Amino acid sequence: MTPPRRRLPPEERRRAILDAAAAFFAEEGLDAPTRDLARRAGVTQALLYRYFPSKAALLEAVFERVYLNRLDPAWLDALRDRAVPIEARVTAFYEAYTAAIFTPEWMRIFMWAGLAGEELNRRYLEHLGAAFLRPLAEELAAAPGLRAPEMEDVWNLHGSLVYLGIRRFIYRLPTPQDARRPIARAVARFLAGLRA
Amino acid sequence: MTPPRRRLPPEERRRAILDAAAAFFAEEGLDAPTRDLARRAGVTQALLYRYFPSKAALLEAVFERVYLNRLDPAWLDALRDRAVPIEARVTAFYEAYTAAIFTPEWMRIFMWAGLAGEELNRRYLEHLGAAFLRPLAEELAAAPGLRAPEMEDVWNLHGSLVYLGIRRFIYRLPTPQDARRPIARAVARFLAGLRA
DNA sequence: CCCGTTGGTTTTCGCTTGATCAACAAGCGC
DNA sequence: GCGCTTGTTGATCAAGCGAAAACCAACGGG
């Protein structure tokens, strides 16, 4: 009946707690109680405070784990490779991007953080805009036969695809399990709109 | 120094509390403390429980106030009026729809509720889909020169415009203050995509 | 002008929260 | 197998939570 008291190397225990914390806070929200998290991680609540000085610090570590190094710089090179048709490039970018962010942890923690007023979202989206969406807009402008889009048009395309993840992970509505078809159709329609 | 104890007719007080509650829970989240709400409403915390039996009941009343009768059946008639060009009809629908939902209360409570797992979102979006978006899809299919869209295409258009509100009210990022231009461009592009 | 109805406040309860700390025991070096 | 380091626990605290109960006073009818 007494739970065996297993002793783990600190590195390993820390990672186990962070894994549990990411899934837990994604599900329950950023101010879900640390006691419930501890139960889920299979440790006592007090132990969390050996690895993290405060709940805020633990959350910061979760943010880092979920959002850092999730954007692959290689996507930018592929996006800029004008040997490849523009439609294939944009499609490939959004297939890679949605594959990276369409997880409960990414989508739900992002939304919880946004509502809570964390700066995470603004910083992240400004970076995404500058590092990927503006280059994407430039490639569209440079593509033969396309009118140059405004950044707001690109955000519109972006939102149309991210919304698929919102329906799936936030509202838990049924959505196509494979995002590739919706992506292909949305990108094709977007480009057709820039040609007309 | 002592706050004047003002006596209001119950109907009026109830409405004042609901007004404050909608703004308060939109800002702070559905499990923000009732004491803070009371302070904001200018009453004591205990008084809330004279007008609502529990916090859950108060939240239910807020949902009703924010989401009930917000969708105007007249939109459907306008959407189905084939004397008007399809582009004007879709544009007008989304101008009316975004005017109805682009408020902090609507957008933020909807997102808090979705994350909290409330049934509100599923019920609302299923109703919206059946009552407005499916007819919209039918009108697109019936419009001359357009390929019939899948429902998923319509949700894509829908999301591209709702995402504008998410950026503004959830992430608090700068967005065009007037939604009409983005709507016009998104709808025009969408239709062009269905023509190609 | 007084009095009863009832809107409003003060006080309190039982419970949960983030965080702390002394006590305990698992595992490695010897 | 011994003992020390240190990962882990149970007990505890002050603050904050939703809710209830007792008390107070504003207003209209007589």
3-state helix, strand, coil in chain A (%, to 5): 70, 0, 30
Q: What is the pLDDT of residues A167-193, one digit of tens each?
A: 999 999 999 999 999 999 999 999 999
What does the alpha-carbon distance between residue B33 and residue B45 come to, in Å, rounded to a whole number? Answer: 10
Whether residue A14 is predicted with pLDDT greater than 60 in this model: the reply is yes
Single-letter code of the amino acid located at B51: Y
What pLDDT, in 10s, does the model give residues B124-161? 999 999 999 999 999 999 999 999 999 999 999 999 99
Residue B126, number of CB atoms within 10 A of its CB: 11
Q: Which residues of B touch A189 (CB under 8 A)?
A: 153, 156, 189-190, 192-194, 196
pLDDT of residue A3: 63
Average pLDDT over residues B55-83: 98
Cβ neighbourhood burial of B162 (10 Å; 0-12, 13-18, 19+): buried
Token pair 């039918």 is found at: B138
CA distance B140 to B145: 10
Alpha helix positions (H), chain B: 10-28, 34-41, 45-51, 55-67, 73-80, 86-101, 104-116, 120-128, 134-142, 151-165, 180-195
DSSP SS3 for B146: coil
Kindly give the interhelix angle for A151-165 and A86-101, rounded to the nearest 10 degrees: 40
Threshold 0.85, pTM exceeds? yes
- The pLDDT-based confidence of B3 (bands split at 50, 70, 90) is low
Report phi then psi at A86, rounded to 5: -60, -40
Q: Which residues of B touch A29 (CB under 8 A)?
A: 29, 115-116
Interface of B with A in 69-128 (CB under 8 A): 108, 111-112, 114-117, 121-122, 125
Q: Which residues of B touch A149 (CB under 8 A)?
A: none
Q: How far apart are CA A99 and CA A179, in angstroms?
A: 9
Alpha-carbon gap, residue B180 to A156, rounded angstroms: 13
Protein residues in reach of strand C (CB < 7 A): A 5-7, 31-36, 45-46, 49, 53-56; B 3, 5-8, 10, 13, 43-47, 50
Asked if A157 and A163 count as a contact pair (C-beta separation under 8 A), the reply is no
Q: Are A87 and A146 in contact (CB under 8 A)?
A: no
pLDDT of A2 > 70? The answer is: no
pLDDT per residue over A126-158, tens digit each? 999 999 999 999 999 999 999 999 999 999 999
Residue A10 CB closer than 7 angstroms to strand D?
A: yes
Query: Which has more confidence, B9 or B57?
Result: B57
Q: How far is Cα A117 from Cα B79, in angstroms, rounded to an integer?
A: 37
Coil, strand or helix: which one is B29?
A: coil
